[in-house]
Structure 1
């Protein structure tokens, strides 16, 4: 196992120590008396990031702490329809654990799976993969000191234009592993009438490739992300409306930084501000914020070859950084920022925030809406705008997945779709994972999720749009990407239900469109669908049969389409 795998495994093992749970099924679904309703939660979205909220239980049953480790074996078939007609067969042996943490001070979900694929027929080698997601919140000192942690491991297919698709079925050489972990302690206290909040977040993300990335046949090269470390610190002090003035006042300061290994790219963002809050009714508040911000994006250039012009490419397929070269500025903004908006919360099950302002030398929009009219359904929508790299974008998206998530499974690939739904909403990491271009970017987009449960019937949908405008220093090898735009649209949907006390079915579909402004290879469209049947053979033994399709449509290169089949057994320990 490589280092990122050990980091992820260590974090998940630490989370599970002394606690246990049941979370998503990947790819098996409980049947009969083992079927349980999914855990649900919503996280509030504000301009500074994604923050955890309350927890609830869908279907009216109380949450409980359990643990379900399992082992499984399956026989897999993959038949290529285009561009060739290869047939691949392999056996998968897997071990994993699904967990729900529902203690007095700890809430969370953990689902992690390790598998080894033994290829029997085909032109690829054996593979090892880890997939899973964890979101846990723990109250160290109730109502005062807490810590929020998260982890993600995902198998992705990397396209020549830099786009990716989650958990492809085929274990071929274009498949890479992505890992991300973060921890975020938070302090909430009072000094007299003044409320004081402080938080810190540190995260690490890594793209681990079996083989080095190579440019397309036309010479197009996308510098693929390697790894990054992100940090974020916030502190604020304020008083509620009516304590000193009719309006509430909060002074704040913050610092964000991401260090990206590719060409020593760095984002450094410092800001201070004052926010005023005016209640206009029991459920509505008007909010205004004014502040100062300095954000700088910088990097170094690549090492050049003997001719002094050609950049040097390392064995991993990435540019080699010239450590002796001076740091060059790609973006530098220093000045006044402001925003105004409204917050509406008529009940614990409905909330809305909408803001417009000035940031990054242009107009900015952000906000969120969540609606959970009952314990059976929940809808959430978030609009975001910010400057980040791949790693910090992924960490923030992961933090937006609720701590009581029930993940939508990707049944064919043995992983998950990237979306997790909770009682009052949900979150998706699909947009953050759509491109692995190493360049810093300004990201604007929208994510939406909807979940519905009636009895043991489950319906889940996640969709979103991401717009990235890349930022790079002119004159460097990344300079050609400066100002270019990538766009991504995605939709994931799944439905599952019992057939009788001993059997159930599940259907999952996904579609992702990616339009690259960086690569001349243009658009790609990754899509797929899987249908599975599950039957309980004994108290802890479940059998499954699954069929599906997995395809990629490319604008300028050959399309790919495969049909898949799986027969397997899972034993829950």
Structure 2
């Protein structure tokens, strides 16, 4: 039988792209990134060259450096329309900077804001608020990158999500997280060689005690290291890769420790010009442990003033999860064009069956669609580090126009990402993490749009002999939707709209489900040189079982000067 050389070339190209793309994502075998980059919550929807050594032509990117510091002053009025609540007014003064950098060797996007609020009525006191989001990559040498990201924001500790947080209270948590590390992807003869390391740190400050059954997260550090070597099809009719890695997290709450390591082999077998089979097998060893809390005279766990368990250092650490042995997965990759790709996998990990996959479609240069299915082990700290690492290096920073808080989703021409799964709640416990997320972003004329929707499930992991054992297996579920739109009305003015819906089910007995929704709009116009005036309004609703529902209307009038 005669072989079509064109068919062979297309099939080899498909397998080469897949194998090259996996070279830089071996680290995704850990935690909630299980199954590879196709399953990472918040992953960029745009095609990327970050997983392989870039070709020389790919280095010729559009160069642009836009750094915009600003000063802002505003007057805010907030009224509780339901329940007879107070009317709050305050003045805000803020300083910040928005940045977007694209050069031959660096890409970065950031928004940073410090705000001081002067309370005026309704019992609202003065407050200092720091918020920001940054993600960047620097090419130190050909194939060697330094990557990093950072986040500072406020969230509702019990699962209400981020955004719309005008007042304080014992449900509000200030969250700080960062990650940094090098990645190396090189060609050594006919081999693709990859390696990397990532350090992450997360800290949560609480204004009050909170009421989470699993206790409130405090702080953690985590380390991830990985390496891989593989070969693209050519000398062999299939591609192959050997990879391995190690991850460790140490959390202050209950002296928790996560430790995991794996080694595996993968093959990619093209069976047509646009279709290939995937397969892999290996070994993993994962242990998660924690100590018990101190008990009071009634045998109940003792909590501190921030709702965190007091750790009993006299007791040994007990395992809440322990697995070692064979892992495997098999799947299919379909890539009919450079704009479309579909990956689906099924396998065995964590002593259970896992399903992961992704679909990406880019119909034109201004539109991206991405759907990801993920399944892994995670925690609040590791989840945030991984979530930051999966955000694109170019995005349009957006904030709530009234209170200045960060929106949970970011969108840009190079991709999109949502951190909603990471902010399900600030629980201190480790968990099995499953879910699906869909992202859509587009530009049409003077309009820009963004949509993020998803479902995230956490199954809590607690030692069987712990006093907290009744929480083992409890499932927290988070359904979320975020929408944003903006229009440039003319060269001097623009309009922005955003809205969100969220439903969070704690799963634990005696803890009410949380539902929230909100919509906001802002009109901005340049009034003189770099001075811009803004008028904004928002409406937010909150409801939790066992508590009175809230409906809050807010309005802002402000001025911003851009330097």
Normalised to the residue count of structure 1, the TM-score between the two structures is 0.86
Q: What's the secondary structure of 1:447's corresponding residue?
A: strand
Query: Residue 5 of structure 2 corresponds to which residue in structure 1?
Result: none
Aligned pairs (5 A) from 1:255-266: 255-266=246-257
Deviation at 1:250, TM superposition (A): 1.1
Query: Residue 392 of structure 1 corresponds to which residue in structure 2?
Result: 382
Deviation at 1:84, TM superposition (A): 2.8
CA gap of 1:496–1:231, structure 2 versus 1, over 3 A, is: same
Partners of 2:476 and 2:301 in 1: CA distance: 24
Deviation at 1:109, TM superposition (A): 0.5
Partners of 2:539 and 2:41 in 1: CA distance: 36
Alignment pair present for 1:223 and 2:215: yes
Partners of 1:559 and 1:268 in 2: CA distance: 42
Decide whether the 8 Å contact of 1:258 with 1:389 is kept in 2: no
Deviation at 1:312, TM superposition (A): 2.4
Deviation at 1:45, TM superposition (A): 2.1
Decide whether the 8 Å contact of 1:407 with 1:419 is kept in 2: no
Aligned pairs (5 A) from 1:435-454: 435-454=425-444
Q: What's the secondary structure of 2:421's corresponding residue?
A: helix
Decide whether the 8 Å contact of 2:39 with 2:372 is kept in 1: no
Partners of 1:378 and 1:46 in 2: CA distance: 15
Alignment pair present for 1:278 and 2:269: yes
Q: Deviations along 1:309-340, whole A, 9 cap, x unmatched?
A: 23322232211111221010111111111001
Partners of 2:265 and 2:210 in 1: CA distance: 48
Deviation at 1:47, TM superposition (A): 5.7
Query: Residue 125 of structure 2 corresponds to which residue in structure 1?
Result: 125
Instruction: Compare 80-89 and 534-543 and name the one that shifted more.
Output: 80-89
Query: Residue 239 of structure 1 corresponds to which residue in structure 2?
Result: 231
Deviation at 1:424, TM superposition (A): 5.0
Query: Residue 203 of structure 2 corresponds to which residue in structure 1?
Result: 206
Unaligned runs of 5+ in 1: 1-43, 56-60
Query: Residue 163 of structure 1 corresponds to which residue in structure 2?
Result: 159
Deviation at 1:164, TM superposition (A): 3.0
Query: Residue 66 of structure 2 corresponds to which residue in structure 1?
Result: 66
Query: Residue 17 of structure 1 corresponds to which residue in structure 2?
Result: none
Alignment pair present for 1:351 and 2:341: yes
Query: Residue 10 of structure 2 corresponds to which residue in structure 1?
Result: none
Q: What's the secondary structure of 2:498's corresponding residue?
A: strand
Instruction: Compare 404-413 and 255-264 and name the one that shifted more.
Output: 404-413
Aligned pairs (5 A) from 1:187-202: 187-202=184-199
Deviation at 1:468, TM superposition (A): 0.8
Decide whether the 8 Å contact of 1:45 with 1:367 is kept in 2: no
CA gap of 1:48–1:489, structure 2 versus 1, over 3 A, is: closer
Equivalent of 1:414, from 396, 404, 420?
Answer: 404
Unaligned runs of 5+ in 2: 1-35, 51-60
Alignment pair present for 1:146 and 2:145: yes
Q: What's the secondary structure of 1:73's corresponding residue?
A: strand
CA gap of 1:203–1:80, structure 2 versus 1, over 3 A, is: same
Aligned pairs (5 A) from 1:435-474: 435-474=425-464
Q: Deviations along 1:45-85, whole A, 9 cap, x unmatched?
A: 24689877349xxxxx9551111000100000010123332
Alignment pair present for 1:505 and 2:495: yes
Q: Deviations along 1:106-161, whole A, 9 cap, x unmatched?
A: 0121111111111011223211111121110111112x211111111111233xxx
Alignment pair present for 1:182 and 2:179: yes
Decide whether the 8 Å contact of 2:111 with 2:397 is kept in 1: no
Query: Residue 288 of structure 2 corresponds to which residue in structure 1?
Result: 297
Query: Residue 106 of structure 1 corresponds to which residue in structure 2?
Result: 106
Partners of 1:457 and 1:466 in 2: CA distance: 30
Q: Deviations along 1:372-412, whole A, 9 cap, x unmatched?
A: 11122111111111101111111112222111112443223
Alignment pair present for 1:542 and 2:532: yes
Q: What's the secondary structure of 1:500's corresponding residue?
A: coil
Q: What's the secondary structure of 2:81's corresponding residue?
A: strand
Aligned pairs (5 A) from 1:78-117: 78-117=78-117
Partners of 2:489 and 2:126 in 1: CA distance: 36
Decide whether the 8 Å contact of 2:41 with 2:437 is kept in 1: no
CA gap of 1:271–1:149, structure 2 versus 1, over 3 A, is: same
Q: Deviations along 1:472-496, whole A, 9 cap, x unmatched?
A: 1123243221001010011111111
Aligned residues: 514
Partners of 2:161 and 2:38 in 1: CA distance: 28
Output the aligned Cα RMSD.
2.0
Decide whether the 8 Å contact of 2:395 with 2:414 is kept in 1: no
Equivalent of 1:423, from 410, 413, 420?
Answer: 413
Decide whether the 8 Å contact of 2:217 with 2:253 is kept in 1: yes
Decide whether the 8 Å contact of 1:203 with 1:229 is kept in 2: yes
Q: What's the secondary structure of 1:397's corresponding residue?
A: helix
CA gap of 1:539–1:570, structure 2 versus 1, over 3 A, is: same
Q: Deviations along 1:229-248, whole A, 9 cap, x unmatched?
A: 111111111222232x3222
Partners of 1:438 and 1:156 in 2: CA distance: 15
Partners of 1:356 and 1:285 in 2: CA distance: 15
Deviation at 1:184, TM superposition (A): 2.6
Q: Deviations along 1:412-469, whole A, 9 cap, x unmatched?
A: 3312221112335311101111211111000001111111212221111111110111
Partners of 2:393 and 2:359 in 1: CA distance: 18
Deviation at 1:195, TM superposition (A): 2.0
Q: What's the secondary structure of 1:451's corresponding residue?
A: strand
